[in-house]
Amino acid sequence: MLKLNVNGKIHQVDVEPDMPLLWVLRDHMGLLGTKYGCGVAVCGACTVHLDGAPVRSCVMPASAAVGKKVVTIEGLGKGGVHRLQEAWIEHEVPQCGYCQTGMIMSAAALLATKPKPTDADIDEAMSNLCRCGTYTRVREAIHAVAAKPATKKA
């Protein structure tokens, strides 16, 4: 039995300690926003925050998250839509949309450490893969959020 803090709530899950966190989130907690992409930590569709840092949950054993705070896309907006999600819509970032939750999680982690990122900062932080190639729109959306002061909403 593992005790995990996910999106501010404590969950006890009866899983093997080496089960990837991705499958615990999806199959045992019903949090389907975190996606399976490649399974080898390359594409970033499975990105979640672990104590504020972006991590690839497809290769992280669930036991590594014990005693830490996990945030998924469902918990990012603290009960509402996060301002990055709004920017994604405004700048028409998603096409197929599959990679977008991981992209948003990576962008949120970037903005938490660099509130006014440069293009180079964005390019370095956004290592997620997008088959649709919306990287320019991703950069525009991140800059749009960086240009606006944060609100209480997210």
Is 152's pLDDT higher than 60? no
Cα 138 to Cα 136: distance, rounded to the nearest angstrom:
5
Alpha-carbon distance 142 to 85, whole Å? 10
Report the share of the chain in percent with pLDDT over 70: 97
What DSSP state is assigned to residue 65? G
| Residue 7 and residue 72 in contact, taking contact as beta carbons nearer than 8 Å | yes
Q: What is the pLDDT of residues 27-39, one digit of tens each?
A: 999 999 999 999 9
Give the residue-averaged pLDDT of 91-118: 93
Rounded to the nearest 5 degrees, what angle is found at the Cα of 55, between the Cα atoms of 50 and 61? 80
Q: Choose the final residue of a domain: 41, 76, 111.
A: 76
CA distances from 55 to 20, 49, 116 (A): 12, 6, 22
Q: Report residue 94's pLDDT band, with 50, 70 and 90 as the boundaries.
A: confident
134 within domain boundaries:
yes
* pLDDT at residue 154 tops 60: no
Tell me the three-class secondary structure of 137-149, residue by residue: HHHHHHHHHHHCC
pLDDT at residue number 39: 95
Q: What are phi and psi of 124, to 5 degrees?
A: -70, -40
- For residues 94 and 66, state if they share a domain: no
For residues 45 and 101, is the Cβ–Cβ distance under 8 A? Answer: yes
Look at residue 138 in the predicted model and tell me its pLDDT: 94
Q: Write out the residue range of the structural domain in which residue 64 sits.
A: 2-76
Name residue 90's amino acid: E
Are residue 71 and residue 8 in the same domain, yes or no? yes
Q: What pTM was estimated for this model as a whole?
A: 0.91
Q: Give yes or no: residues 34 and 95 share one domain.
A: no
Average pLDDT of the chain?
93
Structure confidence at residue 114 (pLDDT): 96
Q: Which of 146, 142, 141, 143 is nearest to 91 (CA)?
A: 141
Whether 124 and 101 map to the same domain: the answer is: yes
Asked if pLDDT for residue 18 goes beyond 70, the answer is yes
Domain CATH for 98: 1.10.150.120
CATH number of the structural domain spanning residue 67: 3.10.20.30
55, 76, 97 — which closes off a domain? 76
pLDDT at 127 exceeding the cut of 60? yes
- Reported as a single tens digit per residue, the pLDDT across 66-82 is 999 999 999 998 878 89
128 and 109 in a common domain: yes
| Pairing between β-strand 2-6 and β-strand 69-71 as defined by DSSP bridges | parallel
Q: Which of 27, 44, 76 is the last residue of a domain?
A: 76
